[in-house]
Amino acid sequence: MPSATREVAVPSEEPPAFRLRGVRQVRGGRAVLDDVSLHLPRGGLTALIGPSGSGKTSLLRLLNRLDDPVGGTVELFGQPLTEYPVRALRRRVGFVFQAPVMFTGTVRDNLRAAHGLARAEVAPVDETRVAELLDLAGLDLSYADRQAADLSGGEKHRVSIARALTTNPEVLLLDEPTAALDPEVADRLLHTLANLRETTGITMIMVTHRLREARVGATYVVMLEAGRIVEAGDARKIMQDATHPRTREFLQAGEGDAR
């Protein structure tokens, strides 16, 4: 396995969305990320793939400080995450969880509650903004007055995306958003994410255990195993001609069935 300290080059004059340097994370006395150094590019969709227990979700949670590493640094747009007030950071970096949790009340109530985190200059969640947010998430305005708790799994994921967008984030983190969805609903959600990227230019980073999603939707891929980076780069190149033998084995076997 190549050294995890080698950073993946991103040819750009701008700093990447995220830069990790020598990151180490421990959970339950075990290193779940070990000396990870990595660039995650701006724009597009980065897919984090790898076998169960490889550290995908652990890495994702560091990117808006749901967790902090025990060693190393994480930067957002060239600035250490620790220099951002947490509230300000989470305005810029939204998070959609694998199991969406709805706030009590209607879909509109959920959007307005999330707006409480937004900067003062972000548009209020009036009827026009509600319609815009729901449209971005692939829902029509008729959903606004529905009880959030009564929605289907796919609908809750879409509301979670709309809710995350209320703060006008520059980055959207998604932790296996299709894991509990049947293939047809999952495909519709991926189509929604693709449209969202095209419409807003938002940077997306997604943990997925479905390799088809990485093949179809990703523009950049990071392969992890045992808390280290095996390979990272352009999605099409890695999916068609991975450099590292372990990546090729993983893709050929169709592994990646869990976090």
> Between β-strands 203-207 and 220-225, what pairing exists: parallel, antiparallel or unpaired?
unpaired
Which tokens hold the place of 186?
């999952």
Residue spans of alpha helices (H) in 4-136: 56-62, 86-92, 107-115, 127-136
CATH number of the domain enclosing 113: 3.40.50.300
Q: Would residue 32 count as lying in a domain? A: no
Q: Would residue 177 count as lying in a domain? A: yes
The secondary structure of 199-213 as a DSSP string is HH--EEEEE-S-HHH
Q: Would residue 102 count as lying in a domain? A: yes
CB atoms within 10 A of CB 258: 13
Type and span of the H or E element at 23: strand 18-27
Integer Cα distance of 208 and 258 in angstroms: 8
Q: Would residue 29 count as lying in a domain? A: no
Q: Would residue 12 count as lying in a domain? A: no
pTM over 0.75: yes
Which tokens hold the place of 42?
């701006």
pLDDT tens per residue across span 107-161: 999 998 887 765 555 667 789 999 999 999 999 999 999 999 999 999 999 999 9
Range of the domain at 130: 42-61+86-224+232-253
Per-residue pLDDT of the chain (259 residues; tens, 9 = 90+): 443 433 444 444 689 999 999 999 999 999 999 999 999 999 999 999 999 999 999 999 999 999 999 999 999 999 999 999 998 899 899 999 988 899 999 999 999 888 776 555 566 778 999 999 999 999 999 999 999 999 999 999 999 999 999 888 999 999 998 887 888 888 888 889 998 998 899 999 999 988 888 888 899 999 999 999 999 999 999 999 999 999 999 998 874 443 4
- Residue 113 confidence (pLDDT): 86
Hey, which bits of 147-250 come out as E strands?
A: 171-175, 203-207, 220-225, 228-234
- Please choose, from the candidates 50, 31, 35, 28, the residue with its C-alpha nearest in 3D space to the C-alpha of residue 3: 35
Integer Cα distance of 187 and 182 in angstroms: 9
Strand-pairing partners, residue 207, are 48, 175
- Please choose, from the candidates 19, 71, 69, 12, the residue with its C-alpha nearest in 3D space to the C-alpha of residue 40: 19
- Residue 114 confidence (pLDDT): 83
- Please choose, from the candidates 250, 220, 254, 218, the residue with its C-alpha nearest in 3D space to the C-alpha of residue 234: 220
Residues in the chain, total: 259
Q: Would residue 69 count as lying in a domain? A: no
- Residue 160 confidence (pLDDT): 94
Spell out the residues 6+ positions from residue 167 whose beta carbon is closer than 8 angstroms to its own. 90, 91, 92, 94, 114, 115, 117, 118, 119, 122
Task: Indicate the number of domains in the chain.
Answer: 1
Q: Would residue 4 count as lying in a domain? A: no
Buried b (16+ CB within 10 A) or exposed e, 175-190: bbbbbebeeebbbebb
Q: Would residue 110 count as lying in a domain? A: yes
CB atoms within 10 A of CB 71: 15
Which tokens hold the place of 254?
């169709």
